[in-house]
Structure 1
Amino acid sequence: MTLPHNPDADPDPTTQMTWPSSRRNASGSHIIKSNYPGGAIESPQAERGPLRLDPTVSGIKPLAIPPSKKSLTTKDLIFLSISMAGAQIAWTVELGYGTPFLLSLGVSEQLTSLVWLAGPISGLIAQPLIGAISDSSTSKYRRRYWIVSSTAVLVFSTLTLAYCKELSTFLVDLFGGGQGDWDPKRSDYISDTAIGLAIASFYLLDFALNALQASLRNLLLDITPAGQLNAGNAWHSRMTQAGNIIGYGFGFFPLADIPVLRWIGGSQFRKFCIIVLVVLIITVWITCWTQEEQERPNKQAGSSQLRKILGNIRAAILKLPTPIRKVCAVQVFAFMGWFPFLFYATTYIGQAMAREKNAEPDAEYATRMGAFSMLLNSVVAAAAGALLPYLSRRDTRLLRVQDEDEEEETIRLRNMIHEWRVDAAKKGKKMRLPNLPVLYRTIWIGALLLFTVLTMLTFFVQSTIGAIVLVSLVGISWAVACWVPFAIIMEFLKEMEEIVEPTSPAQTRANTRIHSRAHSRAHSRAHSRTQTGSASFANFGLASERQPLLSHATASLETYEESLLGPVDRNRPVAGGTVLGIHNLAIVFPQFLVSLAASLIFNIVDGSQQDDETTYYGRNGVAWVLRFGGFCTLFGAIVARSLPLTKTEEEMRYILDELTTLSKEDTQP
């Protein structure tokens, strides 16, 4: 059976929600168009116009209904997300070249793990602070301002890294360090200055990248309609993987062979930095030029800007909804595994080469092979990022239709079952009900367990090729890490926004009718529920995946809010940027612990080689750091089992339960 095409639906195949629309018939009643067999349904919701909630219903105050966000085309989503590719290419400067570059300057392996505290420190400060500042702004440039500012800082810090040795030489000569080229002290001054400039530049780069990526995610949350958030996050993930492919691809390719880059001079690292800056500037310009933000009314006039910002952060932390809090708990353990891998994967390849050859490999070649392994990792992640969202793709037959009451829903579901039976009978087969898509948390748990298994395989992998394959396969888990957590959080944030500011009259009517529909459902189907042993779901609350959905006749919008999202302040806009910043705290905070643990592991495993001049030979500390990270992600998978389902997932389970019950009723004599 072919379902009718909805012209108003999202064109991107990874969208999670349908976009039913309505038109009026000659009598003024609504004709609801939806993706189900049986055609349109005439609704008695005639001539209502914008609905204002009755203050007597569940204590909800009347709210002005803001204009709904326009549906985005695939082209719009690409332009909105393309800057994430540029930002990720800039990340590869640090992830792919950072550790080898610092080692080449003379920084010890133990000290590099402390240098990379720049990541958690910048994430701890930059993302929540910038999210709160931009949330409090009413300007239509509130997100793009920080995108452009962060890009400017990125340009400065990357150029400093590219010309680090030349700048250190200039500064030493400027301030009279040493007596001349023959003076050994001058060389020491230049080396120490270069190390200082490199570390400071990496800190600046980390702060700027955290600010840039936070602002890009906030822009996505602001502009994208609720039904297209999965598509938007999927495109962000794809662009992230594309950025990795481009970044590590350029890092692996011998750039000195390109004639146009020869005039730049210097090493492969310098040429790579210049390419990164060009791509970053172009992608940021595309996003900022093509996207348009809306001005927001100032609802909190009278308080100081600083007090408002700090108040937003404090309120968001204290009132963080339970689902988002649990996502953060999983991220704590997940990034205790991701942090070592992202910064030391290229070094792991170099150490594998040294073990295989039983000698110190060429540093430049080892770095390029490390970049090659991360290039393959990015290709695998891009493929996984393109395919995995289809596992969670929402079956339109299991989605609710807006502005549909109890009787209309029952008619629609019965018509669907009838047509499925007819189609199955024609083919001589038994009718099969649709299956639920794979849940977000299931995909996430699988990715975390895969990461644990792959890191434990480092005990057995001894060859360079084996190490490259292992690093490549981790791309599957990384694709999920770039997509699922943000998709879960943004869905819950959109649910909170719909509670505070309904996006349309239809949404408002749907919310206010939850109580009445639950009540009527409980009475009309109580007898059949008892006979079939199934249970319905009306309050969108939490339920075990293996248990039937339970019906509560007194369920209401408030029940859902209080049990899952917690109390929602209807007079205060949802601070999405602040919440995403707090989520980032859960990502960066454990990195402090991992940095200290990595430094301790390096000291224990490679302490005897501390004074050697070798970079890779005789060292195995990175492999033990990766194993430690894999052990942490195992705990993350255990915590992820308690993640609640999103509202859409709960609704789909409810519809499937209804279909199961109706199909059994229709087969009874």
Structure 2
Amino acid sequence: MALTAQWQGTPHVKGSSESMRMVLLTFSLIGLQFTWGTEMTYCTPYLLQLGLTKSKLSLVWIAGPLSGLIMQPIVGIMADKSTSEWGRRRPVMVVGTVIVSICLLVLGWTKEIVAAFVEEGELRREATIFLAVLSIYALDFAINAVQSSCRSLIVDTLPIPKQQLGSAWASRMVAVGHLIGYGAGALDLGSIFGTLIGDTQFKQLTVIAAVALIVAIGVTCWAVDERVLIARAEGGTDDGIVAVLVQIFKTTKNLPKRIQMICWIQFWSWIGWFPFLFYSTTWVGEIYLRYDASPEVKESKDPLSDIGRVGSMSLIVFSIVTFIGSITLPWMVKSPEDEKPEFTPRPPASIAPIVKTVVERKPSLLTAWTVSHLIFAGSMVFAPFVTSLRFATVLVAVCGIPWALACWAPFTFMGVEINKLGSSLPTSRRGSHQYQRVSDGAIEMSSEARNLEKTDESATGELAGIYLGILNLYTTLPQFIATGISMVVFTVLEPGKSPELAKDAHPDEHHSTEGYNGIAVCLFIGALCSVAAAVATQRFKNTA
């Protein structure tokens, strides 16, 4: 066994320009976010239509945090140790994509699958709900494995100076995926495809999402060549699942201070983001049906499609704002590495004073991240008082700005800190960590980038899987808290079945549509937690 890990090859991304290489490296996130968008837009009203109460529905959405809690760190650490000839991340991405695609199709055709085995009646309805929930759990577990590998691939491939650029491009791809997904949800797909890929909007979207994910993951896997781990460091044995869990626990317990602080920012932030991402479409749809819809719309035979389309329209605006923000904000804020510029810009003398003033007054990424938490809090604090579709849409749209930062900032700082850890360790100590720094482990963008072995800024990323997995722990644990909060809120405010969706339920099972909307109250509580995230971010800034 080698004293230090041994690697073969150099990370490389196809493409003739830096922008094209960044697009190809992060292209997989378009398919991921399309899939997430389909799930978040339609699965909540779909389960409500099947007769599930909101309090029970909150238990279903434990699938997301539970899968993230289990899958991302475990997949991350096991991929870190993989010696596959195809690389450490891409095999997981491919296998996970196949599983996600199957789960999407099963979810779309749940009723038909159950009907083939169970006779008409209450048992069929319960079996349909069970299979739908099971499909959601399996989908979430698989897609979290894919997402972990996609994010780790970016950190693995890029050197420290390119981490912010890579995270910014990832944020753009996330916004594009959301925009396409919500755009597809807002269209009347039946008029476009007929019954070729399904006889309902939901079925058609599951097919499109599966195809989009396969294409997006395929593009990134084709474009990126990973370096291959050919020999682990001394002591790097094939650990079982228990040893993996022990390592995750030990690493989490002894996180470097700055990484720990990033994780806590993520913790408070995601208590607010979880209800927004999973319930905002349904919330907007319910606001529409309560206050703005005509009597004919309220008696629609397909309220699922109505709520999905109305909610998708508001989230299209949200995605447009996110996309614009993900493009413009990186130019408007300072990179974490801006205090150490690699060259001195020399603008024309006539505009030099203006350029200098603009550059000096650009806020830092940490300042922008702090403000983004406050923008989200300032928007969602009004959620319980919304009584029109227009106001609800405005609030959702404004949240596109903080979401752009949420998809970008934490991964930028984690990427920088992870690579700093590797480059700051002497070679002998790196061996004790079961890894060896690869001096040329950087994306091949230019002759300057290819010569990074002459500097101390080359990418390491060997521990990217486990550290990003731990970051995900701090993303998923608050979702359990948010789920508990929503379950209590729904039990108190909306204990029965949804009158907007469960049309066939007995009136005694319906909750009242008067008073505060349960989802809105959950969004309000999330806004308060986002203020705590802003305070945590400010503390992190003061330690920089």
TM-score tier after normalising by the smaller chain length? 0.7 to 0.9
Q: What does 1:221-370 align with in structure 2 at a 5 Å threshold? A: 221-258=155-192, 260-296=193-229, 297-301=231-235, 303-306=237-240, 309-310=244-245, 312-357=247-292, 360=298, 362=300, 363=303, 364-370=305-311
User: Alpha carbons of 1:471 and 1:318: their partners in 2 closer, same or farther (altered >3 Å)?
Assistant: same
Q: 1:630 aligns with which of 516, 527, 537?
A: 527
Q: How far 1:93 sits from its partner (Å)?
A: 1.9
Deviations 1:196-246 (A, max 9, x none): 010000001111111111000111111122221111111111111111011
User: Alpha carbons of 1:366 and 1:135: their partners in 2 closer, same or farther (altered >3 Å)?
Assistant: same
Give SS of 1:263's match.
coil
User: Alpha carbons of 1:299 and 1:74: their partners in 2 closer, same or farther (altered >3 Å)?
Assistant: same
For the 8 Å contact 1:159–1:274, the answer to whether it is kept is yes
Q: How far 1:321 sits from its partner (Å)?
A: 1.1
2:439 equivalent to 1:503: yes
Deviations 1:319-376 (A, max 9, x none): 3111110011111111000011111101111221233148746423222101111111
Q: How far 1:458 sits from its partner (Å)?
A: 2.2
Q: 1:35 is matched with which residue?
A: none
Q: 2:467 is matched with which residue?
A: 579
CA distance in 1, matches of 2:463, 2:12: 21
CA distance in 2, matches of 1:433, 1:253: 42
Query: Which letter maps to 2:473?
Result: L
CA distance in 1, matches of 2:354, 2:175: 43
User: Alpha carbons of 1:224 and 1:608: their partners in 2 closer, same or farther (altered >3 Å)?
Assistant: closer
Deviations 1:250-285 (A, max 9, x none): 111000001x44223321100111111111111111
Q: What does 1:55-134 align with in structure 2 at a 5 Å threshold? A: 73-134=18-79
Deviations 1:149-189 (A, max 9, x none): 110110111011110100010121xxxx5xxxxxxxx3211
Q: 1:169 is matched with which residue?
A: 115
Give SS of 2:333's match.
coil
CA distance in 1, matches of 2:496, 2:529: 27
Deviations 1:107-159 (A, max 9, x none): 11111111100011000000000000000113342201100111011011101
CA distance in 2, matches of 1:427, 1:151: 50
Deviations 1:608-636 (A, max 9, x none): 77774668944611111110111111111
User: Alpha carbons of 1:433 and 1:397: their partners in 2 closer, same or farther (altered >3 Å)?
Assistant: farther
User: Alpha carbons of 1:300 and 1:623: their partners in 2 closer, same or farther (altered >3 Å)?
Assistant: same
Q: 2:539 is matched with which residue?
A: 642
Query: Which letter maps to 2:311?
Result: G
- TM-score, L = length of structure 2: 0.83
Q: How far 1:195 sits from its partner (Å)?
A: 0.1
CA distance in 2, matches of 1:77, 1:216: 13
CA distance in 2, matches of 1:109, 1:146: 34
Give SS of 1:438's match.
coil
CA distance in 2, matches of 1:324, 1:401: 25
2:321 equivalent to 1:380: yes
CA distance in 2, matches of 1:430, 1:216: 36
For the 8 Å contact 1:354–1:361, the answer to whether it is kept is no
CA distance in 2, matches of 1:626, 1:218: 30
Q: How far 1:480 sits from its partner (Å)?
A: 0.7
CA distance in 1, matches of 2:315, 2:64: 19
Q: 1:480 is matched with which residue?
A: 405
Q: 1:439 is matched with which residue?
A: 364
Q: 2:446 is matched with which residue?
A: none
Q: How far 1:397 sits from its partner (Å)?
A: 8.6
Q: 1:494 is matched with which residue?
A: 419
Q: 1:588 is matched with which residue?
A: 476
User: Alpha carbons of 1:164 and 1:638: their partners in 2 closer, same or farther (altered >3 Å)?
Assistant: same
For the 8 Å contact 2:271–2:529, the answer to whether it is kept is yes
CA distance in 1, matches of 2:79, 2:395: 40
User: Alpha carbons of 1:312 and 1:507: their partners in 2 closer, same or farther (altered >3 Å)?
Assistant: farther
For the 8 Å contact 1:65–1:503, the answer to whether it is kept is no
Give SS of 1:262's match.
coil
2:532 equivalent to 1:599: no
Deviations 1:362-414 (A, max 9, x none): 42322210111111111111111111111224599953559xxxxxxxxx9xx
User: Alpha carbons of 1:65 and 1:506: their partners in 2 closer, same or farther (altered >3 Å)?
Assistant: farther
Query: Which letter maps to 1:441?
Result: L
- Higher RCO (Cα < 8 Å, 6 or more apart): 2
Query: Which letter maps to 1:347?
Result: T
Query: Which letter maps to 1:356?
Result: Y
Structure 1: any 5+ residue segments left out of the alignment? 1-60, 178-185, 403-411, 513-571, 651-669
Give SS of 2:117's match.
helix
User: Alpha carbons of 1:573 and 1:84: their partners in 2 closer, same or farther (altered >3 Å)?
Assistant: closer
Q: 1:135 is matched with which residue?
A: 80
Q: How far 1:248 sits from its partner (Å)?
A: 0.7
Q: 1:205 is matched with which residue?
A: 139
Query: Which letter maps to 2:234?
Result: Q
CA distance in 2, matches of 1:585, 1:483: 17
Structure 2: any 5+ residue segments left out of the alignment? 426-436, 441-449, 499-505
Query: Which letter maps to 2:138?
Result: L
For the 8 Å contact 1:361–1:616, the answer to whether it is kept is no
Query: Which letter maps to 1:368?
Result: R
Query: Which letter maps to 1:227?
Result: P
Equivalent pairs counted in the alignment come to 499
For the 8 Å contact 1:312–1:575, the answer to whether it is kept is no
CA distance in 2, matches of 1:477, 1:634: 13
Q: How far 1:423 sits from its partner (Å)?
A: 4.7
For the 8 Å contact 1:395–1:437, the answer to whether it is kept is no
Q: How far 1:456 sits from its partner (Å)?
A: 1.3
For the 8 Å contact 2:383–2:524, the answer to whether it is kept is yes
CA distance in 2, matches of 1:314, 1:590: 18
User: Alpha carbons of 1:375 and 1:361: their partners in 2 closer, same or farther (altered >3 Å)?
Assistant: farther
CA distance in 1, matches of 2:455, 2:352: 38
Q: 1:150 is matched with which residue?
A: 96
Deviations 1:4-44 (A, max 9, x none): xxxxxxxxxxxxxxxxxxxxxxxxxxxxxxxxxxxxxxxxx
Amino-acid identity (%): 30
For the 8 Å contact 1:67–1:503, the answer to whether it is kept is no
- TM-score, L = length of structure 1: 0.68
Give SS of 2:467's match.
helix
For the 8 Å contact 2:156–2:462, the answer to whether it is kept is no
Q: How far 1:309 sits from its partner (Å)?
A: 3.2
Structure 1 runs (4+) greater than 6 angstroms displaced? 61-68, 426-433, 504-512, 608-611
Q: Over aligned residues, Cα RMSD in angstroms?
A: 3.4
CA distance in 1, matches of 2:203, 2:174: 22
Query: Which letter maps to 1:156?
Result: I
For the 8 Å contact 2:64–2:476, the answer to whether it is kept is yes
Give SS of 1:320's match.
coil
